[in-house]
Chains A and B, each alone.
Chain A
Amino acid sequence: MESPVAGNGSGEELLVVEDVKKYFPITRGIIFQREVASVQAVDGVSLSIKQGETLGIVGESGCGKSTLARCIVRLLDTTAGRITFEGRDITKLSRAAMRPIRRQMTMIFQDPYASLNPRKRVGFIVAEPLEVHKLGTPAEVKTRVQELLEVVGLNPEHYNRFPHEFSGGQRQRIGVARALAVNPKLIVCDEPVSALDVSVQAQILNLLKDLQDQFDLTYVFIAHDLNVVRHISDRVMVMYLGKVAEIASRDALYKEPKHPYTGALLSAVPIANPKLGREREPIVLEGDVPSPVNPPSACRFHPRCPRFVEGHCDVEEPPLYPFGGDGHVAACHYPLERWPMAANEMRRAEKAASPEEALPA
């Protein structure tokens, strides 16, 4: 399948993901396990990222964004589809063949309290990737680690401390230093600031931006906070229940969203401005995200969609329709004509979904 999305960052295409699926089997039985169903965590996602670009991925919990991230760095094997990194298909590479590529793509995790080994010193934690890849003599490794600590804004003399001696923001800096250690091209950041306070969150976001400029890094930035994603991304992908709802450049997505789900997400974000906040009428979605074990037919958003059209949205799955030339695509038969839109304008004349139907099965 041809990748439908052209990036608008500069440089070569670094990573191409084509129609990737990840299903987790649900099994029954003790000795003879048979598969009774599967969780369709990621179901046919395609995207591409250019060198030096930041792709933001947003969506609610359970939309498959973290699973997708883990598939990209091959912490999980995909069920179907292809992932190409620097022109090379890495989907089926063996562990040994994968090892040199792991130097090129690293990951920053969400919880800086859980992702650092509490019994190892910071120096060891940051040096570990260098030792795994056998980069440099012990003396060189030490110099490199101290340099890294300085780059991320920590005191290099804290080399011998343990993670518990650091605050949340400082721990996340250690996580960033570790991810940077092997000079990667791509860093997949899975909710790197969600566990942090606002003032510290700003420090880490600024640091990530500075590092990108300094080392020409490419980021896949996963977050549920639309404000944060807007701040850091060049392009943004919105996911819903394992599928792509919309991909667009940052400005296009936030100014002219086409998918009703994107619209609902944007209007649900509280605005830190009481006057602006009172003026708008937020679009409040009914119900919860359905279960990915038994997702709704055709368009997966249809049971909660204010623009749902019976006999179309629940029968025919919308492809990614293009909007404009710069790779803006959205999977919706009845895209938003304009933005912002009040809740009652968004509703179409046809029957709207009732909250009853929106309940998970």
Chain B
Amino acid sequence: MALLEVKDLRTSFHTDDGVVKAVDGVSFSIEKGETLGIVGESGCGKSVTCLTIMGLNPKRNTTSSGQVLWKGKELLGAKPRELREIRGDEMSMIFQDPMTSLNPVHSIGKQLVEAVQLHRDVTKKVARARALELLKAVGIPRAENRFDDYPHQFSGGMRQRVMIAMALVNDPDLLIADEPTTALDVTTQAQILNLMKRLQQEFGSAILMITHDLGVIAETADDVVVMYAAKVVEQAKVDDLFSRPQHPYTWGLMGSLPRLEADVERLTQIPGQPPSLLRPPSGCRFHPRCPYVMDVCKTKEPLLAPTHHDPDHRQACHLDEETKEREAAKLLAATMAEAG
């Protein structure tokens, strides 16, 4: 049984302008100790997907359907009390901006102790020892001295370490990381990604990594889900995705990436803007921006189907197999051209 299984998840927000389908039929599963990456641009629904899994969407104007199976147990529609027991304990989350997700008026030590005591019936002393242990594990130097410091006294990278310590304090089985390094500098990003990898090996947690950065995906994920306009367009093992991308949107993402390891005179850009989810395009949602658009794309929505070469590699595009293989090879030749 998979640790987390998401089946046909749909989340919509009711706004004054109409219904926004922010997640529209997303399915994936995560095994124990594995890292699943969700990649896509702003507004593609990747963050809403994990907020829905955690049950953190505002109740007032949100409707969700589908299934979120956590160790076989349905989370969608579970009581808030049940969710609270799972959140922060078995499943925890790291948010993008560590400054706004830590409470500025409490010391980090107090916040960590609170996280422990919410889920464990232990004395303050035991909780403090656990918190200190975690601060050391995430590489905060002089952790004892910094225990009573406030978030503003830490740098961005150190704050993100505190966030990770807080997420790990109860040995979660799944860590959801929503753009954990986007706000950080490259050298700090490398430190945090290394730390997450090391902790994953140590604690055996599964990670759901949400990011817009294909580089981060390539370095951390085992499986990848590519999302566009609330839908999954491609899903594959990381090596397969990067060596045989099958969807024009994935090609577009890869082509528009300036790279250190290849000389590209001109980036292939995806024309236009991501569509509004209030009125998504008919048929394939990528068709207004797709350079390979055919008549069928405008009317018929492509279904996520396995590719011929690998049943685990799934994609949603009407293009024929031959064209896809040819275009994927062309793209790789262009971007892999060794510098010089």
Contacts and interface: CB of A to CB of B under 8 A. Distances in A.
B141 A270 contact: no
B74 interface: no
A271 interface: yes
> Which secondary structure dominates where chain A touches chain B?
helix
A25 interface: no
A271 B144 CA distance: 36
B108 to A, nearest CB: 16
B239 interface: yes
B238 interface: yes
Contacts of B270: 199, 202-203
List the 10 closest A-B pairs by CB distance, nearest first.
Answer: A270-B215, A202-B256, A231-B258, A268-B190, A199-B270, A202-B267, A60-B185, A197-B41, A272-B214, A202-B269
B242 interface: yes
A225 B188 CA distance: 13
Interface size on B, as a range, is 35 or more
A2 interface: no
Contact of B219 (A254, A274, A289): A274
Max chain A Cβ within 10 angstroms of own Cβ: one of B218, B264, B270, B274: B218
A161 to B, nearest CB: 15
30 contacts: A61-B156, A197-B212, A199-B252, A199-B256, A199-B270, A200-B41, A200-B273, A201-B256, A202-B268, A202-B269, A209-B266, A227-B257, A231-B258, A231-B264, A251-B340, A255-B339, A266-B260, A269-B186, A270-B190, A272-B217, A272-B259, A274-B218, A274-B238, A276-B261, A277-B218, A277-B219, A282-B190, A285-B187, A285-B190, A355-B141
A36 to B, nearest CB: 20
B155 interface: yes
A205 B187 contact: no
Interface in A224-238: 224-228, 230-232
A287 B142 CA distance: 12
B178 to A, nearest CB: 16
Contacts of B261: 271, 273, 276
Contacts, number: 143
Given A199-B252, A269-B186, A206 B260 contact: no
Max chain A Cβ within 10 angstroms of own Cβ: one of B187, B191, B271, B336: B187
Contacts of B169: none
B155 A288 contact: yes
A289 B187 CA distance: 10
Nearest to A199: B270
A18 B41 CA distance: 42
B273 A169 contact: yes
B215 A272 contact: yes
A236 to B, nearest CB: 12
Contact of B267 (A231, A254, A268, A287): A231
B186 A226 contact: yes
Nearest to A201: B256
Interface string B213-251: 111111100000000000000000011001100000000
Given A255-B339, A284-B187, A287-B141, 9 more contacts: A198-B257, A203-B270, A206-B267, A227-B257, A251-B339, A272-B215, A272-B218, A274-B242, A282-B194
A356 interface: yes
A265 interface: yes
Interface residues of A, number: 51
A254 B339 contact: yes
A205 B267 CA distance: 8
B293 interface: no
A361 to B, nearest CB: 13
Contacts of A206: 266-267, 269
A360 B259 CA distance: 32
Interface in A182-203: 197-203
Nearest to B270: A199
Contact of B189 (A270, A273, A359): A270
Given A198-B253, A199-B252, A284-B191, A254 B266 contact: no
Nearest to A232: B258
A170 interface: yes
A205 B252 CA distance: 15
Interface of A: 60-61, 167, 169-170, 197-203, 205-206, 209, 224-228, 230-232, 251, 254-255, 264-277, 282, 284-289, 355-356, 359-360
B3 interface: no
Contacts of A282: 190, 194
A284 B190 contact: yes
B78 to A, nearest CB: 34
Contacts of A167: 273
Max chain A Cβ within 10 angstroms of own Cβ: one of B158, B217, B256: B256
B190 A226 contact: no
A73 to B, nearest CB: 24
Contacts of B187: 60, 264-265, 268, 284-285
Interface string B173-203: 0000000000001111111011000000000
B185 A224 contact: yes
A270 B219 contact: yes
B215 A284 contact: no
Contacts of A61: 156, 185
B163 interface: no
Interface string B71-112: 000000000000000000000000000000000000000000
A255 B338 CA distance: 11
B256 A198 contact: yes
B222 to A, nearest CB: 10
A200 B193 CA distance: 26
Contact of A285 (B191, B266, B267, B340): B191
A261 to B, nearest CB: 9
Nearest to A267: B190
B100 to A, nearest CB: 17
Nearest to B183: A61
